[in-house]
Amino acid sequence: MLETGYSAPMSHRAAAALLRARRAEIVAGVVRQVAAGDRAAMRLASKHGLPVEPAPNLLAARMAVSIERTRATVATLLAEGGLGVAPPRRAPPGPLRPRAAGNESGGGRL
């Protein structure tokens, strides 16, 4: 039995009924927290299948921070010489294979 803070203990059935009665309040509270950007509330909502997402402006702010971190990391790597920037390598040209009679796939490089 669960304790309610009162003198009488609460049965599991009564606790489940109370939870069902307050479910809408709980979901509304989680939705508010998600909209405010609370990541723990987002995990809770995701875990229980609530269709909630953070506000678009919050997502845009997170993306801007992520882009700035990425730019700073790339700039640091370039400054330290840890990131080589070279043109893409191409395979050296080779002789073409002659096309065999009846071969629909065509020729290609060896």
Whether 105 maps to a domain, the answer reads no
Rg value, the chain, Cα: 30
Tell me the residue range of the domain where 69 lies: 12-80
Segment 81-104, tens digit of pLDDT: 876 666 667 766 667 666 666 655
Structure tokens at 105: 């796939």
Between CA 73 and CA 70 the distance in angstroms is 5
Residue 22 belongs to a domain = yes
What was the pLDDT predicted at 1? 46
Q: How many domains does the chain have?
A: 1
pLDDT computed for residue 5 by the predictor: 55
| Residue 18 maps to a domain | yes
Cα end-to-end distance, the chain, whole Å: 77
HSE-up of 8 (CA within 13 Å, CB side)? 4
Of 52 and 88, the structure prediction assigns the larger pLDDT to: 52
H helices present in 4-104, as ranges: 12-35, 39-47, 56-80
Q: Which two tokens stand for residue 86?
A: 């070279």
Share of the chain above pLDDT 70, in %: 69
- For residue 44, being part of any structural domain is answered with yes
34 in Cβ contact with 52 (< 8 Å): yes
The pLDDT tens digits for 64-86 are 999 999 999 999 988 888 766 66
Residue 104, domain member (yes or no)? no
Return all residues near 91 (Cβ < 8 A) that are at least 6 apart: 109
Q: What is the model's pLDDT at position 63?
A: 93
